[in-house]
Structure formats: structure tokens, C-alpha cells
């Protein structure tokens, strides 16, 4: 099931808010539809958001009427600004838009029609590179999983959260493909249940044994020695190895550390933000209180109650045993080793 589809010169996004009950695609005829899909989590997961935004910029370019290159780029920059403001935490969103704009501003082509073709080629490249990096990440990461590993994961970092295959779930998929007989425990992931609705669904589709638990069961599960390792994705990783991921990840990391269980993070290098020194500087998105007070449109809390609803939390690097990337597994000290692997990526 592809979360992002480009066909017949049009963008279609799988509406993940409807899963697993309904498979429905959103036809994105203008860039604002793309932005709204990103904002309301119809498309979600840092790599998928980046790829969707790249195609969203292509859709926006199709709507632009401009007399010359300069005017075209100015209007496109404004569209990129709107798309980039939809979700502040996932760095892949801004990374993809910046890459698209850089490709255009460095191109010598003056013809607007040709510039639009260049944009589509670059969006395809971002999409295809993400699939390739996920598979490479899976190959590196599966080496960390022992035979018969029982893996806890949080939120959804699978094919639905990427252009394809997945980051954390990509590691699990790769181990499954190697015949390691891995099994998964999936946190439900409150308040939007990405683990229950999406991760469980992906694992069932793949034929990988999966057990769904509520978020507050993880600690007891670990105490019963039923978990061998934790693998999660990331929305942003800072230069020192601090990790922003779906709210609840920090608590899982603390529990894993207490029980001496390895805690691994799987993310492409595009998720690493070398401009931020620590996780304290990551902007954390806060979302609609109704995501907490309501479920399926039905109220679960009294009117007037105050709500704090951060979409992400930050796990300090001291709780992370390894960061799995498409260029290899990065170990502490992260400040030194993340810089090395990011520099290697630029050289390549």
C-alpha cells in the first residue's frame, strides 16, 4: 500500500486517518490540499511528509502563472513557505522543500516549462532515494536483532510513514526476510493510535507476528522479560544524538534503560539536523486538544478541562544505544560520529 502516488501527472495521498477501516486516497489538485493533508495527518511520518511536500511543490508550480524565471521562483518560494509551516518538528519537511528550491535556483534553465520538469524529476528522486535508503537502513539494522527477537515499537515508522518499506519497521521487515522469526509488540500510541491503527495493520499484512498493547503496559512487559529490544523512528535528530519522536517515546526509552534493554532509533540522514546542537532546541508541535478529549468524534472528557497535547517528545542521547541510518549504524559518541557520517554522505 503506497502512501504517496504520482500517476497521470497528479498526486494522490493515502488518507491514513481512515485506516485500517477504509482505504481512501485524496486527490491533490492544488498545493493547499497537500498542506492540509500533512497538517491533519492524512499523510504522516517524517520521510513521507518530505516526499509529499516535494510533490506538493510540483503541484503548486503547475498552478503558477509567471512571465519569467524570477517571478516564477518568487511565487514558488511563497508556496514552499506555506507547505513548510504545516508541521514544525519533522525536519524532513523543510529539508525536502529546501532541496527542491536549491535544485531550481542552481539550474541555468530559464524556460518555466523546463523548470517544472526539473522539479518533477527532483521530487521523483527524493521519493526513490527514500525507498532505497529504507532498504539499506533495514539491512544494517537487522544485524542488531537476534534470532527470534521480540521487538517493541512505538507509533508507526513503516511503509506508511515513508516513501516505502519503512525505517523502524523496515529494520523488522529486513530481519523477517532473513528468516529470523522476529515478533513485534506495538504500543497503541495515544492519542491518535498510530500503533494500533497503522503498525499493527502493516505487520498483519506482512505476516509478521504482532501483539498490540496499550502504552502503559510497556513497563510491565519489560519487567516480565518479554522484550529483547526497542526500535523506533524519528522526526528529528540533533547533532548530539537527541531524538524527537512521537509523544511517549521518551517514556519507552526510560523504561528500556531501567530494564537494560537496547533502545535503537532508525532514521535516514535527512532526519539529522546538524544545525541544532541539542534536543532542547527542537520546536515541538502542539496539536488540537480534541485529539485528547475526543475519540471517533465522541467526547471522553468533561467540557472545560485543560489539555496539553504535544505531538512529540525528546529522548536524550544517553538513552539511545545506536542510531541506524542508510550509511550504517552510528554509535556513541554521537556528536563526533553523526558529524562523520553526515560528512561522508555529502562527499558521496
DSSP 161: G
Please identify every stretch of the chain with a pLDDT value under 70, giving residue numbers as ranges: none
Question: In whole angstroms, what separates CA 85 from the centre of its chain?
Answer: 16
Phi-psi region of 193 (alpha: psi -120 to 50; beta: other; left: phi over 0): left
191-229 pLDDT, tens per residue? Answer: 999 999 999 999 999 999 999 999 999 999 999 999 999
Residue 320 buriedness (CB in 10 A; 0-12 / 13-18 / 19+): buried
- Sign of the torsion formed by the C-alpha atoms of 172, 175, 177 and 182: negative
Please check whether residue 282 is in contact with residue 314, taking contact to mean a CB–CB distance below 8 angstroms. Answer: yes
Please check whether residue 343 is in contact with residue 336, taking contact to mean a CB–CB distance below 8 angstroms. Answer: no
d(CA 260, CA 265): 16
- Sign of the torsion formed by the C-alpha atoms of 215, 216, 218 and 219: positive
157-173 pLDDT, tens per residue? Answer: 999 999 999 999 999 99
Q: Is 235 a catalytic residue?
A: yes
pLDDT at residue 346 in the model: 72
Which of 71, 61, 44 is CA-nearest to residue 9?
61
CA torsion, ordered 256, 261, 262, 267, to nearest 10 deg: -40
pLDDT at residue 318 in the model: 98
Which of 19, 18, 11 is CA-nearest to residue 35?
11
**SS3 sequence of 234-299:** CCEEECCCCEEEECCHHHHHHHHHHCCCCEEEECCHHHEECCCCCHHHCCCCECCCHHHHEECCEE
Which of 47, 1, 56, 49 is CA-nearest to residue 27?
56
Point out the catalytic residue in the list 15, 130, 235, 313: 235
To the nearest whole percent, how much of the chain has pLDDT over 90?
96
pLDDT at residue 296 in the model: 85
Residue 280 buriedness (CB in 10 A; 0-12 / 13-18 / 19+): exposed
Name, in order, each residue with C-beta under 8 angstroms of 292's C-beta and a sequence gap of 6 or more.
191, 301, 307, 309
Residue 323 buriedness (CB in 10 A; 0-12 / 13-18 / 19+): buried
pLDDT at residue 67 in the model: 85
Q: What is the pTM of this model?
A: 0.95
Q: Which residues of 19-34 are buried (b: 16+ CB within 10 A; e: fewer)?
A: beeeeebbebeebbbb
Name, in order, each residue with C-beta under 8 angstroms of 262's C-beta and a sequence gap of 6 or more.
144, 228, 229, 230, 256, 321, 322
pLDDT at residue 315 in the model: 98
Amino acid at each position: 500500500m503506497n502512501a504517496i502516488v504520482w500517476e497521470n501527472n497528479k498526486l494522490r495521498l493515502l488518507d491514513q486517518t481512515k485506516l485500517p477501516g477504509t482505504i481512501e486516497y485524496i486527490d491533490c489538485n492544488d498545493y493547499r490540499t497537500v498542506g492540509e493533508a500533512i497538517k491533519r495527518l492524512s499523510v504522516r511520518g517524517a520521510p513521507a511528509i518530505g516526499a509529499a511536500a516535494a510533490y506538493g511543490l510540483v503541484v503548486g508550480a503547475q498552478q503558477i502563472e509567471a512571465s519569467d524565471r524570477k517571478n516564477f521562483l518568487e511565487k514558488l518560494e511563497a508556496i514552499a513557505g506555506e507547505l513548510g509551516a504545516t508541521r514544525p518538528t519533522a525536519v524532513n519537511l523543510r529539508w525536502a522543500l529546501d532541496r527542491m528550491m536549491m535544485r531550481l535556483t542552481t539550474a541555468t534553465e530559464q524556460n518555466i516549462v523546463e523548470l517544472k520538469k526539473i522539479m518533477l524529476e527532483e521530487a521523483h528522486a527524493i521519493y526513490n532515494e527514500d525507498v532505497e535508503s529504507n532498504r539499506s537502513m533495514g539491512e544494517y539494522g537487522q544485524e542488531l536483532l537476534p534470532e527470534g527477537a521480540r521487538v517493541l515499537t512505538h507509533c508507526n515508522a513503516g511503509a506508511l510513514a515513508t516513501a516505502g518499506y519503512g525505517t523502524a519497521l523496515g529494520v523488522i521487515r529486513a530481519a523477517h526476510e532473513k528468516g529470523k522469526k522476529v515478533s513485534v509488540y506495538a504500543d497503541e500510541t495515544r492519542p491518535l493510535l498510530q500503533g494500533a491503527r497503522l503498525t499493527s495493520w502493516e505487520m498483519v499484512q506482512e505476516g509478521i507476528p504482532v501483539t498490540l498493547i496499550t502504552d502503559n503496559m510497556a513497563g510491565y512487559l519489560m519487567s516480565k522479560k518479554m522484550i529483547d529490544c526497542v526500535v523506533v523512528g524519528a522526526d528529528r535528530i540533533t547533532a548530539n544524538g537527541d531524538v524527537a519522536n512521537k509523544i511517549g517515546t521518551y517514556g519507552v526509552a526510560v523504561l528500556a534503560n531501567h530494564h537494560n534493554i537496547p533502545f535503537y532509533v532508525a532514521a535516514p540522514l535527512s532526519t539529522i539536523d546538524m544545525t541544532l546542537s541539542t534536543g532542547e532546541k527542537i520546536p515541538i508541535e502542539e496539536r488540537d486538544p480534541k485529539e485528547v478529549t475526543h475519540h471517533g468524534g465522541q467526547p471522553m472528557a468533561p467540557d472545560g478541562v485543560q489539555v496539553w497535547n504535544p505531538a512529540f517528545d525528546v529522548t536524550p542521547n544517553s538513552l539511545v544505544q545506536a542510531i541506524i541510518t542508510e550509511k550504517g549504524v552510528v554509535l556513541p559518541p554521537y556528536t563526533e560520529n553523526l558529524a562523520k557520517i553526515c560528512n561522508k554522505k555529502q562527499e558521496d
